[in-house]
Amino acid sequence: MRAARWATRTQFFCTGFLFATWGVHIPTVRAHYEISEAALGMAMLAAGVGALLGLSRAGALIGRHGPKAVAWVCGLVSTAAIAALLSLPGYAALLAVLAVFGVASGIFDVAINAEASELERREGVPLMSGFHAMFSLGGMAGAGLGSLLLGWQVTPQTHLVGLSALTAVAVWLACLQMLPPEAPVEASTPFRLPRGALLLLGLLAALGLVAEGAMYDWSVLYMQKELGSPQDQAALAYASFSAAMAAARFGGDRVRARYAAAPLTIASAALAAVAMAVVLVVGDPVVALIGFALVGVGFGNIVPVLFSAAARVPGTSPAHGIAAVSSVGYVGFMAGPPLIGVLAQQSSLTAALFVVVVFAAVLALGARAALGRAG
């Protein structure tokens, strides 16, 4: 069991690391293929649509083959897609590879979350927050190492291929230690839109991920444009939010063991709403950095709590439950940043970011009903 826990932590770390490696080289990909910002947005959309397609099949694939086999295949496909980003013949091929990356990474994410829920079930203690903390840590490591290698003048192609190869080895070794299924795996069932408890959990996940995506994509620009912070100080907004979220997740399992899911989610979302409101009303750079950290603490354990609840919904397997909630939540993650952009264009970025306050408040109000129905 200890080996399986560390294997799952490694898988989460690798997922965050891969996403950060892709994120570091988004400008590189744009320059390499000489495409506009609109075309780059279409490439990102291809990855997002691929992820939704993958999520629609993830439960059935994991039910038929088990998390271990699915994670092995999809993890290696994900790393191969990232390695190939700068080796493609043109823009059409880039769209295709990013769509494949989206499919594979979406299914891989559900597989490792299903493994995490099975570890929680077998050991009888909360573990999900710690696993998601490794995703955050992997993202921080991938972004930091990418920045360091760029400073050392390592070519982007060498960076992508070399780190993807190392990640592929880590994924393969971790898959060897994943749990074998305790019982024969279930037959494949078609994907259906979530209903009842799963739909409510998915809607809460969407609210949380809209707000989380807004923080990742807009907090730095808010500091720079609305508060007049210099670029080096503004960059701390992303770091403040991410580091606090990772810290909250590392301590989250102990908190989840002490408090029930509904009160914990209500308190977490309320903290995020109040902290973000203070940031936007006060409009001071120092207050903003402290507030962003508190928002990260608030949002840190919401997704792990919701995924754990989805894995326990009566009448559905953990993989199907997590896939259903992920599919609805991911729509929120994709829609959040563009929504903020549209609202900012119509008014101001400060006003647009009140979406984070509103969605966190709605999440707090709906948590008891959704988690109560999940059982």
pLDDT tens by residue, the chain, 375 residues: 889 999 999 999 999 899 888 877 877 888 899 988 678 878 877 888 898 888 888 888 888 888 999 999 999 999 999 999 999 999 999 999 999 999 999 899 989 998 998 898 888 888 988 998 898 888 888 878 887 887 888 899 999 999 999 999 999 999 999 988 665 444 445 556 667 888 889 899 989 888 877 776 678 778 888 998 886 677 678 778 888 888 998 999 899 889 889 999 999 999 999 999 999 999 999 999 999 999 999 999 998 899 889 888 888 888 888 888 888 887 777 777 677 878 888 888 899 899 999 999 999 999 998 887 655
CA 85, CA 118: separation in Å to the nearest integer?
34
CA 111, CA 217: separation in Å to the nearest integer?
27
Sign of CA dihedral 68, 70, 73, 75: negative
Per-residue pLDDT, 372: 76
* CB neighbour list of residue 111: distance below 8 Å, 6 or more residues apart: 58, 62, 67, 70, 71, 74, 319
Are 297 and 133 contacting, i.e. CB atoms less than 8 angstroms apart? no
Alpha-carbon distances of 189 from 54, 63, 118, 199, 288, rounded to whole Å = 14, 8, 20, 18, 47
What DSSP line would sit under 74-124, residue for residue? HHHHHHHHHHTTTS-SSHHHHHHHHHHHHHHHHHHHHHHHHHHHHHHHHHT
* CB neighbour list of residue 349: distance below 8 Å, 6 or more residues apart: 218, 221, 222, 225, 226, 340
* CB neighbour list of residue 35: distance below 8 Å, 6 or more residues apart: 43, 91
* C-alpha angle 130-200-53 in degrees, rounded to nearest 5: 75
Domain architecture of the chain: domains with CATH: 2-176 (1.20.1250.20), 196-374 (1.20.1250.20)
**What's the predicted TM-score (pTM) here?**
0.79
Are 145 and 163 contacting, i.e. CB atoms less than 8 angstroms apart? yes
Are 289 and 351 contacting, i.e. CB atoms less than 8 angstroms apart? no
Count of residues making up the chain: 375
Are 117 and 316 contacting, i.e. CB atoms less than 8 angstroms apart? no
CA 6, CA 13: separation in Å to the nearest integer?
10
